[in-house]
Amino acid sequence: MGREKEGEAKTKHKPTKLKRLNGCESAGAGENVKNSTKQTKSKEKTDHGKPHKKVKTLKTETLESSTSASELVKEEPQEDDFTTKKKGVKRKRIKDEPVEASSQSSASPSSKKRNKENGHREGSDEESQKKSKKGKEKTVKKEEGEHPVSKKPKMTKEEIEEARQLKIKKKEEEEQNRWRWWEEEKYEDGVKWKFLEHNGPYFPPEYQPLPDTVHFYYNGEKVKLSPAAEEVALFFAQMLDHEYTTKKVFRENFFEDWRKEMTDEERCLIQDLDKCDFGEIHAMHKAKVEARKNRTKEEKQKIVDEYGYCMLDHHKERIGNFKIEPPGLFRGRGEHPKQGMLKKRIQPEDVIINCSKESRIPVPPAGHCWKEVRHDNSVTWLASWTENIQGYIKYIMLNANSKLKGEKDWEKYEVARKLKTCVDNIRNQYHLDLKSKEVVRRQRAVALYFIDKLALRAGNEKEEGETADTVGCCSLRVEHITLHEQLDGNECVVEFDFLGKDSIRYYNKVPVISKVFNNLKRFLKNKQPGDDLFNRLSTAMLNKHLSSLMPGLTAKVFRTYNASITLQQQLKELSNKSDNVAEKLLSYNRANRAVAILCNHQRAPPKTFDQSMTNLQGKIDARKEQLSLAKTELKEAKKEAKKKGNSDPKLVVKRKKAAVKRCEEQLLKMEVQATDREENKQIALGTSKLNYLDPRISVAWFSILLMPFLSSSFSYCLRRCFTLVSSCGSN
């Protein structure tokens, strides 16, 4: 590298056109000292005369990686630039760079040798050498990124303030224009809306074939795939960085579905997935992902403005999921037996539209039509279609802050609230049933005991082999529980170990009453590990029984009730009015954590957890040093004030005290944040906040303790929900 830089510094060339860069001869190579001097003078003329048009210097690493200027100098990366075997540097033209017409990438080996031999004769002008080196260094710095990244221009203070004021004004307008639907009269039973108009769903763009320079290889040979097979190959290439592509079931399912999309010739040729090379397609996909990330906010907002809103009863409402799912490979949760299968592209002909009769019917994409247009005001969905993997119906629904979702949640929490008034009677009933002569009654009683005390999901009947092996209370098998007469100092302990919803493991050791324990012993007799624990009971039977005890009562209501009552009890135990804001928020999150543990809301620790904790600890250490320094300065200021005795040093002491207090508050806030993160690294707090906790409990608690700081603990969606509750009254 040292030799190459020396050669570059000594060689001076005339500015030449980019098209000459491909030539084998380097401009000025092999000329005598006289010609070299002329070039130097010519260069000086250009510097002191009219400035020439400056051309960027092409950075190269080795001779082998040299490519033509047409490949290197581009406005922005193209699809055909991204292959695994190309090493060219791709970047934007940079203005005001020094003229370096010929570079090492454009010189032939022979011209390089001649340059090296005559290098000592061409280094007469030291000033020119310095300029050349400086320019080269500048160019290298600008070329650090392989791909160009468009940086947003920095905003001035005035622009930042203007944007802030605009945001405040927008929020105020939203608040004024908010639809206070809860103050209006409710529709008759079964009617959800009277007017509904929308633009239909947003469809993903059609598949674009691979560029000519990006290839798929089979057994080392280039293979041109048909468009249908090529698109499915791209789906697999997109996931090469993911562990799914290493799983046997995923690969087998993918290969089977991929072959269905191939032509007869392709099926005859491609017999083994291990011989397929998707490398170039994967590289192109990664480049496209980066390009999508750089899309402007305006581009994204344009799609939201067109498809993200609807008119519900002549009020503008936000739609939750307005995009049709793009085609791809099915992943599923856990070890799903159908992972790797092809999720086919949804066409307008597969979609049912729901809107009011007098509204404008959404226009389908050009050349297409809708499967059906309905005018059903007894449902809340705007569009629906059936996916091909499991046959589930997918819906486009309104946002969580909408009237329809708000009404549904309100009803859910009202039913859970009513349960509080009759839960004691229900518990007495299932305790009596534990001694019943009928097996089905005893099984129902034990299942209700688990649902009530452990907040287990009821579980639904599923076709074997169609979904992942997940279970709920009613679908527990013998293999999922172990009975212990004594364990860890407790008697009658039941050990649970099974996969619940989303293939999340539920593992718990729970002491139970003797009646439940003895019944479980009977249920396990003469059964194999794969047999059902509650073989006489189903979820439908359980819910039918519950609805007879209280209108609208289901097993899910028990889960909502127990989650909300647990939060309320924990907040009473943990709250302290004398705590500062950070400590109060920690208390709230700890109460929320107790609910999440009860409901088994787990998550994998974030990938960046260790790094973020290290960064936070670094900030804590720095703040401790700052606090120590502030205390030292305060002591010195007090000494100075005693010596002088006038008012000026006292003002300094006052400021230093304020600085110490500020540092202590900031340090405490960071330490609380570190504790909170560590405690909740494997607990998902958001699920219970959004789906199981009655917002009235939180609103009442925050109104007493720290209502102004609500935004620091909740997402925008939940803040809107709580604001709604505050408007209605928290009773």
**Residues belonging to the active site:** 692
The C-alpha atoms of residue 560 and residue 452 are separated, in whole angstroms, by 10
CA distance 163 to 135: 39
Contact 225, 216 (CB under 8 A): yes
Alpha-carbon torsion, ordered 587, 592, 598, 603, to 10 deg: -110
342/146 Cα distance (integer angstroms): 34
CA dihedral 436, 440, 441, 446 (to 10 degrees): 100
Give the other-Cβ count within 10 Å of 577's Cβ: 8
Which residues lie closer than 8 Å to 172 by C-beta, 6 or more apart?
A: none
Q: How many CB atoms lie within 10 A of CB 646?
A: 9
Element (H or E) spanning 506, and its range?
Answer: strand 505-511
Structure tokens at 580: 């500062």
CB atoms within 10 A of CB 642: 10
Q: What is the token pair recorded at 425?
A: 């009677």
Structure tokens at 490: 């407790």
Contacts of 208 (CB under 8 A, 6+ apart): none
- The CA angle 176-317-369, to the nearest 5 degrees, is 155
The two most distant CA atoms of the chain are separated, in Å, by 116
3-class secondary-structure state, position 483: strand
How far is 498 from 508, CA to CA, in rounded Å? 10
What burial class does residue 45 get, using C-beta atoms within 10 Å of its C-beta: 0-12 exposed, 13-18 middle, 19+ buried?
exposed
- What would the 3-class secondary structure string for 516-578 be? HHHHHHHHHCCCCCCCECCCCCCHHHHHHHHHHHCCCCCHHHHHHHHHHHHHHHHHHHHCCCC
Say which amino acid occupies 533: L
Which candidate, 687, 708, 715, 710, places its Cα nearest to that of 698? 710
Q: How many CB atoms lie within 10 A of CB 137?
A: 10
- The Cβ-side half-sphere exposure at 106, using a 13 Å CA radius, reads 25
Residue 615 CA, chain-centre distance (Å), reads 21
How crowded is residue 299: how many other Cβ atoms within 10 Å of its Cβ? 10
Confirm if 343 and 387 have CB atoms less than 8 A apart: yes
Q: Say what angle helices 439-454 and 539-549 make with each other, to 10 degrees.
A: 80
DSSP secondary structure string for all residues of 165-224? HHHHHHHHHHHHH---GGGSPPPPTT---S-EE---PBPPPPP-PPPTT--EEETTEEE-
216-218 vs 276-277, strand pairing mode? antiparallel
Cα distances (angstroms) measured from residue 435 to each of 116, 516, 520: 100, 10, 12
* Residue 509, beta-bridge partner list: 495
CA pair distance 637, 656, nearest whole angstrom: 8
Residues 337 and 400 sit within 8 Å (Cβ to Cβ): no
Angstrom distance (rounded) from CA 329 to CA 258:
10
Neighbours of 533 (CB within 10 A): 22
